[in-house]
Chain A
Amino acid sequence: MLRFALSRALSLALSLVVASVVIFAVIEVIPGDPASYMLGLNATPEAVAALRDQLGLTGSLPVRYFAWAGGMLTGDFGISYTYKVPVADLVAQRLWISLPLALYALALSTLIAFPVGLIAAARRGSVTDYGIMGATQLGIAVPNFWFAMLLVLVFAVNLRWFSAGGFPGWEGGPLPALKALTLPAIALALPQASILARVTRSALIETLSQDYIRTARAKGLSRRQATTRHGLRNAMIPVLTIIGLQFSFLLAGAIIIENVFFLPGLGRLIFQGITQRDLIVVESLVMLLVFAVILVTFLVDLAYAVVDPRLRRRA
């Protein structure tokens, strides 16, 4: 297990290095000088020179890369040009909206998808199964930001149960904050739950047709016992993969959903960074998002090894 974890950790580190080089290179590709790009056409040469200095653009390429990457490692993400505060502070503030939102959506999606997929698999070929499959097919086709608009239309405009957007902060207790995140989380969760339900169903159907399930039944276990004791655990591998993949979709999806509900999270920050040409914010945030995705992939790999001992030996 330790060897497996170490080899995965090594590939995690390697991915991070390559990803950071790619992001750094893309920002470097910007035609002309990032400093004059950020300041626009009317900037004085003195202002551009001052910003170049502040951005650390005076050194050679490798020096600049190591300064940036080294800073990221120690939690120094640079100073936002437009906000005049460290990017790390901005991230720390905004993370308390984006992360709970993604986790809320992930929890909702899993809570809905598991039972639904289980029922569909257990009643395979029935009207219930076809109904569920049809509904998930529709759920996959609905863009989450449009679903979010429909939720606003129904629950905020017509029923007035929720506000159409904004965030009260966590200072007033967790309930108002969670309430503000509920519609966004539902909007994010719907397509993911549809995919997850389909994967759960097909993974279970696949597992339940295995010989060891037949053996378990022959030894006297009921259908339910065989499913819960032997089927579920073996069906977890593809389901875990999808949950891991979904995390990156949820993070990216949160970027858009935050814009629908005017939530001041990381997603809003990225877009403000783009429109205000604040490259330091964009560069550091993209790196952070990629780091989060790579880290989750690593954790999912470890989770596999816990669920399936065969994978430990293979590494």
Chain B
Amino acid sequence: MKLNAQLWIGGVLTALFIAAALVSFIWTPHDVTALTIADKLKPPSALYLLGTDHFGRDLLSMLMVGARTSIAVALLAVGIGMGLGVPLGLLAAATRGSLLDEVVMRGNDLIFAFPSLVIAILITAVFGPSAVNAILAIGIFNIPVFARVTRGGALRLWTLDYILAARVAGKGRLRISFEHILPNITSLLIVQGTIQFSLGILAEAALSYVGLGAQPPTPSWGRMLAEAQTMIYTNPALAILPGLAIVAMVLGLNLMGDGLRDLLDPRVRRARG
């Protein structure tokens, strides 16, 4: 019962933000690049549902486009992590104990030694701040996470009879990895993907808050908070709404991830019951 509730609440929250982000491509209540100084710092009204910021930009429109920025950055970063991490993990598991396995795992440990924010700082120090570099910085940190999960899941499967049967049938390690191992660890990867997605949203918010993420005029939740900080005495609402958006999005993804894990991994369910 609890399991379904988690999945439902999480799924609905996530869907809501994804929908807002998608809608923002074709329609927002107001243009986020148009500065209407005459309407600056307006309280919520029929014209501006959530009010306006210090440049007279509509807060609701900013939040919608901000959702787009956050989701795009986090999703692409998960893509990088999966795209490189999963093949690496599969290869490492297929050649367990080999030099390749050792190098992949040690390399992973090394990336873990760099806090993700430090990687981001290093990258932006060299290439300059931008959304693309934020994606790279978060994505690099996702690689070892997916490599590790993939390797762990694959190692368990390599001991099973049907893999042995495939080997006897003459299939190579590489083919087995992609034809038999990968389809059987998709549920693991989906759950991990959801978790990394939510961590990516938080990381993007932190990076853009310190000015290392998407650059103006592209709205992002983190920079909205940074700009609101100077006006926290006079207009606290500006500092509260983007934060609530981040919390709701991350909470939704985390609940969905937990719900999915319970649903897809029967062992957890049994251990809980």
Contacts and interface: CB of A to CB of B under 8 A. Distances in A.
Interface in B39-55: none
A248 interface: yes
A259 B206 contact: no
Contact of A152 (B114, B116, B232): B232
Contact of B114 (A19, A29, A274): A19
A255 interface: yes
Interface string A133-144: 000011011110
Interface of B: 109-110, 113-118, 121-126, 198, 202, 205-206, 209-210, 225, 228-229, 232-233, 236, 239-240, 242-243, 246-248, 250-251, 254-255
Interface string A260-293: 1000000000110110000100100010011001
A149 B229 contact: yes
Q: Interface of chain A, helix or strand or loop or mixed?
A: helix
Contacts of B228: 149
A251 interface: yes
A252 interface: yes
Contacts of A286: 118, 121-122
A248 B117 CA distance: 10
Contacts, number: 106
A252 B116 contact: yes
Contacts of B125: 273-274, 279, 282
B246 to A, nearest CB: 6
Contacts of A143: 202, 205-206, 209, 243, 246-247, 250
- 6 closest residue pairs by CB, A with B: A252-B115, A146-B243, A141-B250, A252-B117, A141-B251, A248-B115
Given A15-B113, A149-B225, A259-B210, 11 more contacts: A19-B113, A26-B126, A143-B202, A145-B225, A149-B228, A249-B115, A253-B117, A256-B210, A286-B118, A293-B115, A294-B113
A150 interface: yes
Contact of A19 (B110, B116, B198, B229): B110
Given A137-B254, A152-B232, A26 B209 contact: no
